[in-house]
Structure formats: structure tokens, C-alpha cells
């Protein structure tokens, strides 16, 4: 992280993977948290940080390996990088740091899909949720009839949706897995009825290769994988072969059991590390960088506090170099805060949408399109401090 202003709360520091005495380490021009080091490499990094006017600290890990935190003042960043590049054992690390710094500063201007490109500069994409399942947590069974599902898709587009996300398997906590053939039976008629008639791209919410193949073959342009390519890694090749985009989400566990006491040693580093591995998997399969979005996975193997911390430090996900999608609409952590059921969480969902936009989210996955779009328009105007978004 560059230009980082650290929080004071111990819970916040722990979530970021920082020690409780972080504030004693000096001014932050560049903050590096490096795992998987050898003893020799860690010793050199400690010495180099000190020689460049910075500080370092070894951090405990719940697994074997050495983790070093390096804090450098602004004026020492280039000298540190140059010395690192000249070290025979750490040249590759220098390259990884350079790549990460470029990714964090990368200008995210578009989302490339199969048949079109969606601009991202200065605007937030709204992805409308269309669950054609009997058991989704919020609207299970409501859109199971294909004709009603198609009608609702058109309604969301009229309200301002930029994409429609069609899901045939509930991934709510405790949900049982659905066979691929049943998932295809649910989503395919809706996709086939919409392609060529609806003016926005369709995405399919699935982790299965067979379902993605069927949906992309029918005309969908984006795969929303809640597992970040961990349930079926070969899904990456399917996405690449069809020239589609992909949403890579973080999850801990499986939907059936993911909410049984989920725990993290350091929340943000673990989520970001997971997403970086998912991105590498997609890139290696041939998916273009500008066809990838990342999602912190609100509610997927996380407590209410974990969800709040991810939203509080959402901007840290910019280090992945990919646009950020947030899917928090009507989720249970909002119910925990408000004491409301799923059908009474609109105001909480809109609050999260506005906060996510001001933190730099590029896309929101939502149930309530029109209301969210209004909240987003105000949040974007505050973020840009401009009246240009006023209706004329």
C-alpha cells in the first residue's frame, strides 16, 4: 500500500494484518507485507529497510513460513526498490512488488465482455439479480417460472440495470448443491429467451463448467463464480475459450457449511491473497485482465464483523488491479444491524451501496435496481464533487 493512513482500532489493525504497535513504526510512504520468506531473505529485508530509513517487523503466521512487514518513508521507496532489484536472491520479489504497485495504480477504464465493452470510468455498473431458484435467501421461488423471470429481467433493465445475473443454484448459507443438469434446466430457458431481445449483457451465476458452457453457448457474456475458480479451476479455460468475462469472488468453505464459525488470522491479507491467486489462474488460462472483476464475497464464510471490516477497508482490494464488485444486497449482516428480515433491508442495502461507491467499487450486485441507482448517482456526485450527474 502507498500513501496509507493506518487506523487506530486494534480490530482494524488485526484485520489488515498489522501489529497493534504499528503506529510506532514511523511515517508510511510504502507499506509491504511479504510472506513466504526464507530466514536469509528476511534478514536482508530487515537490514535494507533500516538502511533506507524505514522499519520492519516480523509478524506471526498461523502456518509455517516467515512474514515481514516493511514500512518505508515516502522518500525511501525508490532506493529500496533499486537495492532489492540488485540482490540475487530477491530480484523476483522486487518484480512482484513492482507488479503489485503498478496494479494498485492501474487505471480501470473498461470491462471487456464477449460482444461488447462496458466503460467503467466515473460510473458504477449495476448488476440486477435474477434468481431462478426455489430456495434463494431473499426471493427464492419468485422468479422460478421462466416467463416471470424474463419479465423481471426486462423490468430491471428499464430501471437502469447494466447487466442481469441469472442464477440457478442457491448459494445461501446452508444451501445444498444442485446437480449441473438441474441448474442448466433452470437457467437456460431464461437466457435463450433474453438473448437478442434484451439490450444488456447477461451473466450466469455458477461454479460449474457444464453450466457455464451451456450458458455461454446460449449467449451469456459473463460468469459469476462465487468460488473464485477454486471449486472447478477448469472453469477458467471455459471462460477464456468463449471470450467471456468473469467475476472472481472470495469464499471460505462451501455454502453448506461456510457460516459455521468462520475465522481468519488476518482478514484482508487472506482475502486479497485468495483473489490474487484466482486472478493468476484466470490470466494463465487466457482470460484478459480487463475481463476480470473481483468480489470480496460478503457473507461467504464471514461473520457480520468480517463483512463490516471488508467494507470499511474495501479500497485495499484495489491492490489486485481489477475492478471491484460488491454484492451485499439484503444480506444477513444487515439484518443483524437493523433487526430486520430480508424484505425490510432496502435502506441498509442502499447505505452499503453508497459506501462501496465512495470506496471505489466499480459494480454492485443488487435486488433493488431503481433505488440503488438513485443512491449510486448521489454517491458518485459526492465522490467526484460534481453536479454533472444531475438530470437535465
User: What is the CATH classification number for the domain harbouring 95?
Assistant: 3.30.70
Residues 62 and 116 in one domain: no
What total of structural domains would you count in the chain?
A: 2
Alpha helices for 53-208 (secondary structure H): 77-85, 91-105, 146-159, 180-194
Which set of grid coordinates corresponds to residue 210? 457444464
**φ, ψ for residue 36 (rounded to 5)?**
80, 25
| Residues noted as catalytic | 331, 365
Q: How far apart are CA 330 and CA 312, in angstroms?
A: 18
pLDDT of residue 381: 92
3 falls within a domain? no
Q: Are residues 75 and 153 located together in one domain of the fold?
A: no
pLDDT at position 61, please?
83
* 375 and 339 inside one domain: yes
Do 221 and 370 share a domain, yes or no? yes
Nearest to 248 by CA among 230, 266, 269: 230
Residues 292 and 236 grouped into a single domain = yes
- Which domain-ending residue is among 43, 77, 105? 105
In a domain, 1, yes or no: no
Residue 364 lies in a domain: yes
In angstroms, the CA 373 to CA 349 distance is 12
| Same domain membership, residue 344 and residue 253 | yes
Considering the domain architecture, whether residues 93 and 207 belong to the same structural domain is answered as no
At 190, list the grid cell: 431464461
- Give me the residues of the chain with pLDDT under 50, please: 392
Q: Are residues 160 and 253 in the same domain?
A: yes
Task: Provide the pLDDT for residue 392.
Answer: 34
Is 5 part of a structural domain of the chain?
Answer: no
Query: Which of these three, 64, 84, 105, is where a domain ends?
Result: 105
Among 110, 130, 116, which Cα is nearest to 205's? Answer: 130
Tell me, yes or no, whether 122 and 252 share the same domain: yes
Same domain, 197 and 333: yes
Both 167 and 306 in a single domain? yes
Domain assignment present for 389: no
In angstroms, rounded to a whole number, what is the distance separating the alpha carbons of residues 317 and 295?
Answer: 9
Q: Model pTM greater than 0.75? A: yes
What sign for the dihedral angle of Cα 244, 247, 251, 256?
A: negative
139 domain-assigned? yes
Same domain flag for 30 and 131? no
Q: How far apart are CA 62 and CA 358, in angstroms?
A: 34
Alpha carbon separation from 89 to 51, 85, 128, 348 (Å, rounded) = 18, 9, 49, 50
What is the CATH classification number for the domain harbouring 364? 3.20.20.20
Burial string for 181-211 (b: 16+ CB within 10 Å, else e) reads eebbebbbbbbebbeeebebbbbbbbbbbbb
Q: What is the pLDDT of residue 96?
A: 83
Condensed to tens digits (0 to 9), the pLDDT of residues 320-372 reads 999 999 999 999 999 999 999 988 999 999 999 999 999 999 999 999 999 99
Contacts of 7 (CB under 8 A, 6+ apart): 13, 16
Q: Which domain holds residue 52?
A: 10-105
Q: Which of 105, 125, 140 is the last residue of a domain?
A: 105
- Written as nine digits, the cell of 285 is 488460462
Amino acid at each position: 500500500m502507498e500513501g496509507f493512513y493506518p487506523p487506530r482500532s486494534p480490530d482494524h489493525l488485526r484485520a489488515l494484518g498489522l501489529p497493534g504497535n504499528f503506529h510506532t513504526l514511523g511515517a508510511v510512504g510504502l507499506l509491504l507485507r511479504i510472506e513466504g520468506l526464507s530466514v536469509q531473505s528476511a534478514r536482508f529485508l530487515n537490514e535494507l529497510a533500516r538502511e533506507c530509513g524505514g522499519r520492519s517487523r516480523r509478524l506471526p503466521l498461523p502456518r509455517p513460513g516467515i512474514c515481514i512487514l516493511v514500512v518505508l518513508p515516502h522518500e525511501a521507496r525508490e532506493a529500496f526498490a533499486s537495492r532489492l532489484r540488485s540482490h540475487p536472491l530477491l530480484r523476483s520479489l522486487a518484480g512482484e512488488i513492482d507488479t503489485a504497485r503498478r496494479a494498485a495504480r492501474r487505471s480501470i477504464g473498461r470491462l471487456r465482455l464477449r460482444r461488447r465493452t462496458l466503460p467503467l470510468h466515473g460510473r458504477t455498473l449495476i448488476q440486477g439479480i435474477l434468481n431462478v431458484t426455489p430456495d434463494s435467501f431473499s426471493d427464492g421461488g419468485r422468479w422460478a417460472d421462466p416467463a416471470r423471470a424474463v419479465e423481471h429481467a426486462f423490468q430491471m433493465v428499464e430501471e437502469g440495470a447494466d447487466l442481469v445475473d441469472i442464477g440457478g443454484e442457491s448459494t445461501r448459507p446452508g444451501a445444498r448443491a444442485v446437480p449441473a443438469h438441474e441448474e442448466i434446466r433452470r437457467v437456460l430457458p431464461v437466457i435463450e429467451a433474453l438473448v437478442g431481445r434484451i439490450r444488456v449483457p447477461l451473466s450466469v451465476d455458477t461454479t460449474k463448467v457444464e453450466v457455464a458452457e451451456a450458458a455461454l453457448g446460449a449467449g451469456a457474456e459473463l460468469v459469476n463464480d462465487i468460488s473464485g475458480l477454486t471449486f472447478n479451476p477448469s472453469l477458467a479455460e471455459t471462460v477464456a475459450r468463449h471470450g467471456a468475462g468473469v467475476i472472481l469472488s472470495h469464499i471460505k468453505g462451501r455454502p453448506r457449511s461456510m457460516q459455521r464459525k468462520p475465522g481468519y488470522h488476518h482478514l484482508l491479507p487472506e482475502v486479497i491473497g485468495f483473489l490474487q491467486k484466482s486472478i493468476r489462474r484466470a490470466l494463465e488460462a487466457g482470460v484478459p485482465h480487463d475481463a476480470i472483476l473481483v468480489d470480496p464475497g460478503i457473507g461467504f464464510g464471514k461473520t457480520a464483523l468480517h463483512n463490516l471490516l471488508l467494507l470499511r477497508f474495501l479500497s485495499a482490494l484495489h491492490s489486485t488491479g481489477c475492478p471491484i464488485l460488491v454484492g451485499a444486497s439484503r444480506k444477513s449482516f444487515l439484518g443483524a444491524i437493523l433487526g430486520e428480515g430480508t424484505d425490510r433491508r432496502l435502506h441498509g442495502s442502499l447505505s452499503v451501496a453508497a459506501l462501496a461507491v465512495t470506496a471505489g467499487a466499480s459494480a454492485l450486485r443488487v435486488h433493488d435496481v431503481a433505488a440503488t441507482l438513485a443512491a449510486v448517482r448521489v454517491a458518485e456526485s459526492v465522490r467526484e464533487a460534481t453536479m454533472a450527474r444531475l438530470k437535465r
